Structure formats: structure tokens, C-alpha cells
Amino acid sequence: MERVVTVERKTGETAITLTLNLDGSGRCDLDCPIGFFAHMLTAFCKHGLFDLSGSLSGDLEVDQHHLIEDTGITLGQAFDRALGTRAGIFRAGNFLYPMDETLARAAVDFGGRPFLVFESGISGIPLVSGGDPAASFQTDTVEDFWQGFVSGAKCNLHLDILRGRSDHHKIEALFKAAARAIRNAVARDERLGSAIPSTKGTLTQ
């Protein structure tokens, strides 16, 4: 069965449409107005082998928080809907991702209970692209994105930076580690067949 869904979120602050294919080839075709955020989503798709397309828009004249958090919520909802009952998946996954001086760790469980542990050591100082303050990225929104994701996906996610210096490397390593851990968790387990990977018999209640 194809695991492809489209999710829309429209509020007074944002308008987001995402189409997700869990079993893709890593293509990312998003209309995203924040350059660094687009780069992170592209890396997430490439390392997770997820296909993601759609458009993101929001009240950037206020700040980047609403758009980035709402994108996390919408992407999480897409994963939740694409996984359905969670039948036949590995359910949990983890990954250590090195990026130069940085080492990131991600562990995820699609067990139906949203919870985020985020220990990144990110400074909160915006990243500036090409010396243009208008092209800066608000690094404090990274935690907001992943908080939105776990609430939408109903998953338990731990993201940690074990060592590192560059905020750019820390953020990118976290996105790549998360993608690899999630990829392992949502993969189909041939030994499990169509069973639910839980002693409760359900992961949606």
C-alpha cells in the first residue's frame, strides 16, 4: 500500500500544504520563503528518503516562529496519517550523526504519545545568510519545529547534541539524525507482517 498523504493547515498566521510520501527517494520540492529552513527540510528528506512537496507561507513580518512551528505540526500530522494504525512498522529508531566537530543523537518512538526532549546547546543567536539580516534564521525556532512535529506525529522524540561548536552544524546534524532515526522507525518490518508493534494491540488510543 502506498503511504502518501496531503495535509493542509490554514490559520490567520500561516497557510501550509504538504504532500508526503514515506516510501520516496528523498525528493524535496517545497516553496519555502526561509532559505536555511528550506535547506534543513531538504536534508531531512534526503536522509529519510521521504518525498515532500507543497508550499509554506506565513506572517514573516512578525517573525519566523509561526511558520516554522506550524510546518512542524503539519509535517507531524502527515506522518501520523501516512502511518495509520502503525501496523507492520518497526515503530522505534535511533541514529548517531557526526558532522565535523558536531555529534548529534536522535531516538524516536511512534508509540502514540507525544513528548520531546531537546538538548541542543544552540545559542539562540540568529544565523545570517550572505551578510543580509533579512535572510537570517531564528535558531530558537528549531525546538519549536520539533515540538510541533511530535504533537502532530504523536511520537516520542529525543534530540541531543553530544558535542559541537557551530550552531549551523548542530541544527543540520539534528535534522539528519532525526531523519535517519525516523526512517528506521517507519520502515516496514517483514517479520512483523501486519501486526501492531505493541503489547496493547493499538498505538492510536
Q: Cβ contacts of residue 126 below 8 Å, gap of 6+?
A: 136, 137, 138, 139
pLDDT at position 1, please? 79
Q: Which residue has the cell 528549531?
A: 142
- Which pTM does this prediction carry? 0.95
- How far is Cα 22 from Cα 79, in angstroms, rounded to an integer? 8
The domain over range 4-186 is classified in CATH as 3.30.230.40:
yes
pLDDT tens, residue order, the chain (205 aa): 799 999 999 999 999 999 999 999 999 999 999 999 999 999 999 999 999 999 999 999 999 999 999 999 999 999 999 999 999 999 999 999 999 999 999 999 999 999 999 999 999 999 976 656 557 899 999 999 999 999 999 999 999 999 999 999 999 999 999 999 999 999 999 999 999 999 888 888 7
How are the residues of the chain apportioned to helix, strand and coil, as percentages rounded to the nearest 5?
30, 35, 35
